[in-house]
Structure 1
């Protein structure tokens, strides 16, 4: 599902216009991104949690030459599904 499709689904479910629903989706994604940029985790009970994960510096290899290279420490985004979301998938399989 793409952003426009998500906005359309929200619009049809809530009675908002498609434009208003798109603004809601955009505001949500912007707020999550801003919080994570500040190092904050975002928890949505039942859905899941977005977290900032720290990757330590490490040594890697150039696949072409085999030479060792230093990979700098970095931050990345993680997501862990909540129980309700996980249960949705387990029901579909069985």
Structure 2
């Protein structure tokens, strides 16, 4: 399911226009993004948790030249599904 299909599905389930559903989805995603940028976890019961994971700096190699390069540490957003979601998907 892509974004436009999700918007159409949301609009049909809520009996609202696609424009309203698109605005709702945009606000939800913006809120999650803002919370992650501030370093917060976003926990949605029975769905899962969005959080940042920090990866330490490390040394890598350029595959073309074989030269060593330094890879900086960075935060990466991640999603951890809840046990209820895992059970629902696997049943």
Shorter-chain TM band? over 0.9
Tell me the secondary structure at the aligned position of residue 20 of structure 1. helix
Shift of 1:45: 1.0
Mapped to 1, the partners of 2:83 and 2:16 lie a distance apart of: 29
List runs of 5+ in structure 2 lacking aligned partners: none
Q: Runs ≥4 in structure 1, deviation > 3 angstroms?
A: none
Tell me the secondary structure at the aligned position of residue 32 of structure 2. helix
Mapped to 1, the partners of 2:17 and 2:83 lie a distance apart of: 31
List runs of 5+ in structure 1 lacking aligned partners: none
- Cα RMSD between the aligned structures? 0.9
Mapped to 2, the partners of 1:85 and 1:74 lie a distance apart of: 28
Give yes or no for the alignment of 1:39 onto 2:39.
Answer: yes
Shift of 1:84: 2.0
Q: TM-score, normalising length from structure 2?
A: 0.94
Q: TM-score, normalising length from structure 1?
A: 0.91
